[in-house]
Amino acid sequence: MLPKEIMRRVREIQVRTGRSVADVLAGEYVSVFKGSGIEFDEVRAYTPGDDVRSIDWNVTARMGEPFVKRYVEERQLTLMLMADVSASQDFGSHERSKRECAAEFCALLAFSASRNDDKVGLLLFHSDVEQYIPPRKGQRHALRVVREVLAHGEDTSPLTSQPAPPTLSLWRRLFRGGRRLRAAREGTAINRALEFFLTVNKRRSVCFVVSDFIDEGYEQALRSANRKHDVVAVLITDPRELEIPPVGLVTLEDMETGATRVVDAGSSAFRAAVAEQANQRVTGIRKRLAGSGIDLIHIDAAGSVVDPLVRFFRARERRTRR
């Protein structure tokens, strides 16, 4: 049984996102995401007036009389949520961690899908695939999706507890010494997760990859997945990853490598270097994904999850109308 704290967080997210789904996202979701179009249903005997182009010649030859293929309009959508549960997602300098922000984002989409009778699935990954939940419909299934994002690798300390010490993985390039081998959940391998996704999902889906993208060499895997599915990248960052306050000497630890370093955060030069590197990282991700034809949603873990999602929906709707 999951800890009571996890269930309390799930209920909080359900309450917090419920109004947004009902009042804000309902129309946006339906207008942007549509089903896959026409789907084969059955073969039936030919009747006068049927389009001869729909005749199934293989069945006709076996049965000795004409049969036609029947198709139906398929409006149901399959939504796949791929959530990064590596160690760097546990970082949070405000009220919620990047993992909790990811869970709230997944909740918005899962409850929107449930409201529209669409299927939603979940794939949790770190340096390997942690868990795969096939797409299904229903409110209970949507709640399970949110619960699993929170539960994997999550400690059960209350939301009101003090945030963990700064462990900003994007700084790993500033410090090369003292590394150790990464445990399974500490690393991130987006390409491996996408390869698994392509193996188990043959039907076209809308796939949201929710991560801080502290990884390298995943662009080709994203492009391959986007050729068969509709892939959207969701970058989650924390404010302290983009800007450091002048707090004097601090010890930084990289969650994904275990490297530590004592730095002088009171130095304006050091803070400027970190801010520049962080901005370059985000800009680089945006440019690489744009070059691959993949949409990007950038979410601040300390800010609203709804607003960036609404902006994405409206931008995509405008683009599809052109």
pLDDT of 179: 37
pLDDT of 23: 67
pLDDT of 21: 72
- The Cα 171–Cα 281 span in angstroms is 11
pTM value is: 0.76
pLDDT of 98: 94
Instruction: Give the H/E segment covering residue 141.
Output: helix 139-151
The DSSP code for 13 is H
Give the other-Cβ count within 10 Å of 34's Cβ: 13
pLDDT of 199: 93
pLDDT of 308: 92
- Domains in the chain, start-ordered, CATH in brackets? 4-27+77-321 (3.40.50.410), 39-72 (no CATH)
Report how far Cα 295 is from the mean position of its chain's Cα atoms.
12
**Tokens 């809308």 sit at which residue?**
206
pLDDT of 219: 93
C-alpha torsion 15→16→17→21, nearest 10:
80
Average confidence (pLDDT) per 10 residues, the chain, 322 residues: 66 72 69 59 83 88 89 72 93 89 91 88 93 92 88 48 36 35 67 94 91 93 94 95 88 81 90 92 95 94 91 82 65
Smallest Cα–Cα separation from 215: which of 285, 113, 134, 314? 285
Cβ–Cβ < 8 Å for 83, 124: yes
- The Cα 132–Cα 121 span in angstroms is 8
55, β-bridge pairs: 68
Provide the sign of the torsion angle of the four alpha carbons 199, 200, 205, 211, taken in this order: negative
Q: Is 253 exposed, middle or buried (0-12, 13-18, 19+ CB in 10 A)?
A: middle
Name every residue whose Cβ is closer than 8 Å to that of residue 179 and which is 6 or more positions away in sequence.
257, 258, 259
Cβ–Cβ < 8 Å for 253, 175: no
Tell me the C-alpha to C-alpha distance, in Å, between residue 191 and each of 129, 180, 188, 194, 291.
10, 22, 9, 5, 17
Are β-strands 67-74 and 37-45 bridged in parallel, bridged antiparallel, or unpaired? antiparallel
